[in-house]
Each structure stands twice: as structure tokens, then as C-alpha cells.
Amino acid sequence: MSSPDDEGSPTVSEAGNELADDVIVVTGASRGLGRSMVERFAEEGARVTLTARDEDRLEELAADLPTESLVVPADVRDSDAVARVIDRTIDEFGRIDTLVNNAGVSLLGMQDSRNGLVDVSEEEWDTVLEVNLKGVFLFTRETLPHMYEQGQGNIINISSGLGRRAIAGAGSYVSSKWGLEGLTRTTALETDEEGINVNALDPGGRVNTDIWAHLPEEERQQILQPDVMDDAAVRLAAQDPHAVTGESMAAQEWEERLE
């Protein structure tokens, strides 16, 4: 997405990369879906800020990227740490074109089992809601003033099919993703006149990430792979101001919508 002030800058087709020179912040970037999106964004020419708690994994990933990158470890639940990620990105790159709120956890991934509400501790509940929902709020709150100043930007919130339906034994995760869906729509309404697009993206099914590490390897290879959202994420990040906003779809639906 080129800046409105860059009248002489190359178009997407001229540049050859959908996201040439864009600046993208990705949370939960050290593994799984986040890692795959980071690699694809960089292939498309974007400069990427990588954040997660595992600094070693982030540095390893950043070392192999073909474009400039910035590693800023942070816990998405920590407002000071979140502010540091955004401040360092602005200091390094001067702007933020896209924020990808990808960091997420589930009790299934933490414990390899589903638990009814009576078996969920307060600490477990708080962990899931704070990572999956509070973290999105904190990063969005810190990023929006910069996007307002730019008059453009894209926010991509990584959701789940369980943000639109429910299953037994996943109360904390379902609650966090339903909350994320509502937050996505609210943010879209508040930012639409500012030229900022805010949408939710989900894989469209089970993905071979740490959440499903308990499955046999053969079964893990038969479900969706971590690159399932890459095409859709690129198309959402490449949207111009006042484009599609306030929507939530699975990756394949987004690919069809944004053809």
C-alpha cells in the first residue's frame, strides 16, 4: 500500500511485489501461522516487525528474511511492552501500514485436552482472554494514532471459526474469539472515515500448529498447513484506504472476495 504523498512511487504491478516497502507488525510471529505470514510478507517486499515472547526464534526467523526486519520481543498482555514494539517500529521505519494481531493461545494447545467450565481455573481463563483479546486491544490502541496520522492502514485480526460458533469444552477460547469478532467490527466503525480497514481472518479449519501437536503426525499432515492464510493476508494488507472493512471470513472466502 503506497502512501498518498508518494505520487511517483511504483504501483503494485510495476514493483512486482504486492507489499513493496510496506511496514507490517506481526504479533505471535515466532511460529505457526505468524511465522508463515511473516515469511510471505517479506517475499512480497514488506519490512516486518516481528514480536512474540521467544526472542531466539524471532532472531532466527529474521535472519533469513529477504527484507529489512525488526525484532522486538514482547508479551501482548503487557501494555508497556506493546508500546515499546510500536514505538521502535516507528523509530526504525517511520510508519505502520498493517498490523496483524495473530498472537493467540488455547487451553487445548496448553493441555492437549478440552475442559468444561467447572474444570477451568481463573488463571487459565485469564490467560486465554488476555492473550487473545486484551492483546489485540493493546496493540490496536497503540497503532491507531499512527494510522490516523497517515490517513490509511490495515488491521488484520486473526480469528477462528469458533468466533462464529461454539463447541463444548472450549469456553475460554470461544469467548475470546467471539469478543475478537465484536472488537473487529467496533474498530472498523470507529476508523472507517479515517481510511483504515479492519477485518478478521481465520484459517477455515484445523491447522498444523502447536495447538494440534498432540495429534499423530500422519493426521497433522492431513489438516491445513500454516501457510493457509498467506494469500488472504497479503490481499488484506494490500488494500487501499476505504476498501473492505468490518468483515470476517475464512482464508479461502477472502481470496475469492479480493480477487
* Residues designated as active site: 173
Nearest to 224 by CA among 32, 67, 62: 32
Q: Is 18 helix (H, G, I), strand (E, B) or coil?
A: coil
Cβ count near 118 (within 10 Å)? 5
- Pairing status of strand 98-101 against strand 23-27: parallel
C-beta of residue 30 within 8 angstroms of C-beta of residue 54: yes
Q: Which three cell numbers stand for residue 213?
A: 501437536
| Cell numbers placing 204 | 477455515
CA distances from 121 to 107, 132, 133, 171 (A): 11, 17, 18, 12
Residue corresponding to grid cell 483479546: 133
Decide: 19 and 166 in contact? Cβ < 8 Å. no
Distance spanning both ends of the chain, measured CA to CA: 16
Amino acid at 189: L
Q: Which residues contact 25 (CB under 8 A, 6 or more apart)?
A: 48, 49, 51, 85, 86, 89, 96, 98, 99, 100, 139, 143
**C-alpha span between 195 and 116 (Å, rounded):** 42
